[in-house]
Structure 1
Amino acid sequence: MTTTLITGSNKGLGFEAARRLVAEGHDVWVAARDAEAGAKAAADLGASFVQLDVTDDASVVAAVATVGHLDVLVNNAGIAGSHKDVPDVTADDLRHVYETNVFGPVRVLHAFLPLLLASDNGVVVNVASGLGSQAVTHDPDRVESSVLAPAYCSSKSALVMLTTQYARALPALRINVVDPGYTATDLNGNSGTQTVTEGTDAMVAMAMIGREGPTGTFTGRDGTVPW
């Protein structure tokens, strides 16, 4: 059985991805910062729970010891950050968002890497956004072109580049990044036009790839996302 860990999976996209992967036969670990909410989500899903705060080294190391074996890591945890006007955004605003959206996935992957390399089919799925794509955010036909959120957008761009770097450096693993699309979640005040099921299509597909699957790609539910 494939063992999968999804960060930030007590609600939203992470919860729905966990539900779908449990249904596909994965042994899923719901990883969440909030122990009470995470344990409840895991119980509702028939999954396992591990407390994990992606911004805390000790928490991540403890989670590795608890999980013990891992085939698929889904770096889903993320925050939107403040909604300040662009001229008012400070370095501290970016630092706060990057701690979760960029340093978090690096921290978690670094800690779980020995387990992933020991797997017969180690897979990493990083959850970014079309807001991290220069091509998408410059396309006037896309809703992303109307968004001004320097901290969030640049953090997702960084995650896309990190994905390609890790994919090149670790050819034994399948490491890809996905764009869920504009999905109704707490992150956007449930204003998204997609359901969470639609938003997890690419996440689930990439979590289920085999050893001959792609690596270093940027994918959405409709196919390749332009860089």
Structure 2
Amino acid sequence: MNGTKTALVTGANKGIGFALAQGLASMGFTVAVGARDDDRRAAAVARLRAEGADAFGLALDVTSDTSVAAAARSLDRLDVLVNNAGIAGDFAGGAQETTTLDLDVLRTVLDTNVFGVVRVTNAMLPLLLRSDSPRIVNMSSNMGSLTLRTGPVLAAYASSKTMLNSFTTLYARSLAETPVIVNSACPGYVATDFTGFNAPRTPAEGAAIALKLATLPDDGPRGAFFDDAGTVPW
């Protein structure tokens, strides 16, 4: 397949997602900025283009079958998919304490962080399977590690990332005989609105491991979980 490779980043209008779009563009990818908010998506694309990136906006609400299907139909090629869109969910008043978990919060978090990833991945797979070197990167968190059990107890968010890592391994198994390489990335504790901008790492630092996984060689690892230091215990 000839021509410039195309990468789609979901939730790319801000934070780590925007840094991922910047990084992929600097590597020569045409970047589809996936975001549901029209104004924020347009602003992100304008900023990327001002920096010299080849970028375009893609209306994409990962919680909507209709939106995701329309986004997939609008693309003529896809080489890299970064499932970055994610939410922390409400945690006020014990909503994410395990013993008082608000099931509506759990449903809302899973709809974006898990169902959204499956919805987008399955819609985009026909395009990815036509690529010479397709890559899928799922943006996870070490809070989802059953071994590390890091961070505060956010039962909806943490369990969503555990489940996301499970899907990474399941996709890797299902796609083992194809060129599609799927892995999870942990960006670390990054200063974004997600963390109240009170964290030591920049979005660009958080994006670095995902950019590496997005451009793995054809014999690269599959179905694994990585951060900057290497493999993350599950």
Report the TM-score, using the length of structure 2 for normalisation: 0.92
Secondary structure of the structure 1 residue equivalent to 2:32: strand
Aligned to 1:72: 80
Paired with 2:145 and 2:104, the residues of 1 have a C-alpha distance of 23
CA distance in 2, matches of 1:37, 1:210: 33
* Separation in structure 1 between the aligned mates of residue 171 and residue 37 of structure 2, nearest angstrom: 29
In structure 2, the partner of 1:58 is: 66
What residue in structure 2 maps to residue 141 of structure 1? none
Cα root mean square deviation, aligned:
1.0
- The 3-state SS of whatever aligns with 1:102 is helix
Deviates more, 1:79-88 or 1:31-40: 79-88
Please name the residue that 1:152 is paired with: 157
Which of the residues 9, 14, 29 maps onto 2:12?
Answer: 9
Stretches of structure 2 lacking an aligned partner (at least 5 in a row): 50-54
Distance in 1, Cα, partners of 2:15 & 2:141 = 15
**Consecutive aligned runs of 4 or more in structure 1 exceeding 3 Å deviation:** none
Contact between 1:198 and 1:221, CA under 8 Å: does it hold in 2? no
Is it true that 1:104 corresponds to 2:116 in the alignment?
yes
The one-letter amino acid paired with 1:158 is M
SS at match of 2:129: helix
SS of corresponding position for 2:74:
helix
- Give the 5 Å matches for 1:97-176: 97-137=109-149, 144=150, 146-171=151-176, 172=178, 173-176=180-183
Q: Distance in 2 between matches of 1:35 and 1:57?
A: 18
Q: Which residue of 1 aligns with 2:56?
A: 48
CA deviations over 1:87-127 (Å, ceiling 9, x no partner): 33222110010000000000000100100111111110000
Aligned residues: 220
Matched, 1:212 2:219: yes
Per-residue deviation, 1:210 = 2.5
* Alpha-carbon separation, structure 2, partners of 1:132 and 1:92: 20
**Could you state the TM-score of these two structures normalised by the residue count of structure 1?**
0.94
* Aligned-partner residue type, residue 146 of structure 2: Q
What fraction of aligned residue pairs are identical, expressed as a percent?
Answer: 46
